[in-house]
Structure 1
Amino acid sequence: MKKRCERSFFQQGAWQKYVWRALPAVISASVCDTLLIVLAVAGVSVIVQQLPMFKAVMMAGGFLFLLYMGWVTWNSRPKTSQDEKHTFTAKKQAVFAAAVSLLNPHAILDTIGVIGTSSLQYSGLEKWLFMAACIAVSWIWFSSLAIAGRLFQTMDTSGRLMVIVNKCSAAVMWAAAGYFGVSLFCN
């Protein structure tokens, strides 16, 4: 659904000794995503489409955010799940996930632009069902990322594959940043 630093949720699942210890990040991100989806479907997307300056500011912010997150991801080194100093506390997981969710212009634009705009074709009960489906997919997505991270760590105890995943993730972030950059100057 959204390229919202999924790497963070994936790695929280990988770094924790048990996948349930990544639940604070999963729940925080899912609640934030639920809020963004509700706002988008409730009509914020219609308002935002009327404010081209807001869109330009958000695109510029998304561009810078993704450049930075790509750089951080590219340079990150894998940690083992037993490396306790690299595992976040429950509070730190929740705060980080909320910050990545709510302060990420790309996530906001994605929610407003894709989900909010898509919801305009529905009305009444269909609109509520569309919103509920988007929320359900979001919760499933973040849960799946944590589980996949834990399974991945179990298979790749050396961390070599995680380096490849990080490099690929960074490339995707930079490609999305490039799209925002081009969109900013071509529209």
Structure 2
Amino acid sequence: MALLPILETPHPMLREISTPVEAVDDEIRALVADMFDTMYAAPGIGLAAVQVGVPKRLLVIDLQEPEEEGGEPVRKPMVFINPEILEKSETMQVYSEGCLSVPDQYAEVERPDHIRARWLDEHGNSHEKELEGLLGICLQHEMDHLEGILFIDHLSRLKREMVLKKLAKQRRMAA
């Protein structure tokens, strides 16, 4: 297992459209394992392959929610290979989103509150499910990466510029 470097905006690869995974093989499973290690270390709850420099239609999610109030987070890793959204609800939900490629920046983003999605897991098994809540929001966010879209692209120009200015200031302070 290896920690992979996470690309940060404005890296041009983050704007590429990812290509389909042709075969779910040992190479893909090794990438998935490295992506989980990288995501947990960051820490984050979702990571698309393009964020680690591999423009393939692959992403991982683990919401790491506690089973009970105040309990330890429980890992429930999920792998989405060649995911597609089949249906979106017309009702929307606003959620405060952040992104490992736009570190330490958060903004309110409006997305459909229910989706029906289809994907393959790390064993090549097909799944189709209706997703809602944080999992549905997270999948939409990560799938945006596969299309070269960042969460800040959903913001008004003014809000996007404010987020990017804060990020630039943060980078200057760290240098």
TM (norm. structure 2) is 0.30
TM (norm. structure 1) is 0.29
Q: Which has the larger radius of gyration?
A: 1
